[in-house]
Amino acid sequence: MQDQYILALDQGTTSSRAMLFDRRGNVVANAQKEFRQIYPHPGWVEHDPQDIWSTQAGVAAEAVTHAGVAGSSIAAIGITNQRETTIVWDRDTGQPIYNAIVWQDRRTASFCDDLKARGFEATVRAKTGLPIDSYFSATKIRWILDHVDGAREKARAGRLAFGTVDSWLVWNFTRRALHVTDATNASRTMLFNIHTLQWDDELLALFDIPRSMLPTVRSSSEVYGAAQTAVFAPDIPLAGIAGDQHAALFGQMCVRPGMVKNTYGTGCFLVMNTGTQPIESSRNLVTTLAWQIGGETHYALEGSIFIAGAVVQWLRDGLGIIRRASDIEALAASVADADGVYLVPAFAGLGAPHWNARARGTLFGVTRGTQAAHIARAALDSIAYQSLDVLDAMRADAGIRIDELRVDGGACVNDLLMQFQADILGVDVARPRVSETTALGAAYLAGLAVGFWRDVDELQQQWKLDRSFSPKLPRDDVAHSIAGWQRAVRAAKAWADDGDDGA
């Protein structure tokens, strides 16, 4: 397999990407395309499932073409995807019956509040490791069944299929032959029992979702079937699937309990490997599957931050204070600090460890002297502060000392942010040479399934450090900054709790 490659398909929230990796884990080719974001109402976020499919298929073909390789040179395809995003389609026509409801969408927040008020929180968390929240797939499926004409009747007749984005891609790549998902994506639906590793009948009844809609759950690394589209030569194995954060954890080679990574994408996601036993969080973190390989299941603690890189997009598209996302580092670095300005970017509510669906973005500490640079600095700072909130909860839940945070995703190239992250956390921040470890993780999972790589020990030798950031800011200054952030979060929560924003 020396002249062969693994193709990783990374279907994200704002773009679809394809990367071709060689046996050393190097990127041979890369293609990416953004697609339309749909905002029908405040707090609602949707995608056109056909946009997801067409852009992903398009960049896959583009990456292979750029590399100048034949389809026969691709040993396997791995898929990683934005999680929780919910698609329901007609099994007969293959057409979606509604837009994809994105993980950020908050339209079912009131229904979740009702379930919690009725006392279901403990049951759901015990079975799934998840809090009841509109972030996850179950209430999104229910919403579609309740609001699309004829959907419930079709579902009861077995004519509808539900899938997270991985399922939708496999369905299309195999020309409707396979309706599958992997255990990591299943664990994000609020319908999957992470202890029995099965869809849970009690949860299906609670959300009134027919079992016939659900995909078959498979491991994260195995041959599911073959791609049968015109995009590739036929019979390329589809051999690895994992939700984006799980793939990033694996791509970062966080394979031992206590190892932690943070992915800086549209959202921000800290994940800690906790080994083969789940750890129940008492601090509003999520207990989830890390991956399932060779019959062995690994678990993780996760803290999901809804808005990270998206705050930079907001500065670019909403406020217009930067022209390109990459401009933020120079603008933010033009001032010594945020000058007392704090931005709580709760544009889609607050995620872990707060889980306040009604919170909204709030800017504090603005004076007549506040400049665009201070707001840019506060925006970057907010990513680091939110990560601190999660890591503190993670350290307490796991009872494990954390000395290093491995980082990846688009914003990890921002040296200013990475240094501030190290200062605020008080730990070393390690950035690998291959920063797009989400795609790399998907490639690793697929490659292991077909023998492209021998084992995890071989993969661990490929992880290489690009740069390490060590804490430099005096701890008194850090404590003062953190106190200001915590005050801003308390104020943002108070604003949310003292009114009705219509969510």
Please report the DSSP string for 275-290 in residue order: ETS----SSSPEEEEE
Pairing of strands 286-293, 296-305: antiparallel
Q: Residues comprising the binding site for ATP?
A: 13-15, 266, 309, 313, 410
pTM of the model: 0.86
Write the CB contacts of 50 (distance below 8 Å, at least 6 apart in sequence). Answer: 96
Q: Residues comprising the binding site for sn-glycerol 3-phosphate?
A: 13, 83-84, 135, 244
Give dist(CA 452, CA 459) in Å, integer. 11
* pLDDT, block means (10 residues), the chain with 503 residues: 85 93 92 94 94 95 86 90 96 96 92 95 94 93 96 96 97 94 97 96 97 97 88 83 94 92 88 92 91 94 89 93 92 95 92 85 95 96 96 90 89 93 96 88 96 93 93 94 96 82 45
Q: Residues comprising the binding site?
A: 13-15, 17, 83-84, 135, 244-245, 266, 309, 313, 410, 414
Give the helix, strand, coil percentages of the chain, each rounded to 5.
40, 25, 35
**pLDDT of the residue at 500:** 57
Q: Residues comprising the binding site for ADP?
A: 13, 17, 266, 309, 410, 414
Domain ranges (residues) in the chain = 253-306+390-469, 321-388+474-498
Give dist(CA 221, CA 251) in Å, integer. 13
**pLDDT of the residue at 1:** 47
Give dist(CA 353, CA 368) in Å, integer. 33
* Cβ proximity of 203 and 127 under 8 Å: yes
CATH architecture observed for domain 253-306+390-469: 2-Layer Sandwich (3.30)
Instruction: Just give the CATH number of 321-388+474-498.
Output: 3.30.420.40
Same fold, 253-306+390-469 and 321-388+474-498: yes
- 494 to 116, 135, 490: CA distances (angstroms): 20, 21, 6
Residues in the chain: 503
Alpha helices in 174-296 (DSSP H): 183-186, 201-207, 244-251
Q: Residues comprising the binding site for glycerol?
A: 83-84, 135, 244-245
**pLDDT of the residue at 181:** 97
Give dist(CA 475, CA 13) in Å, integer. 36
**pLDDT of the residue at 32:** 95
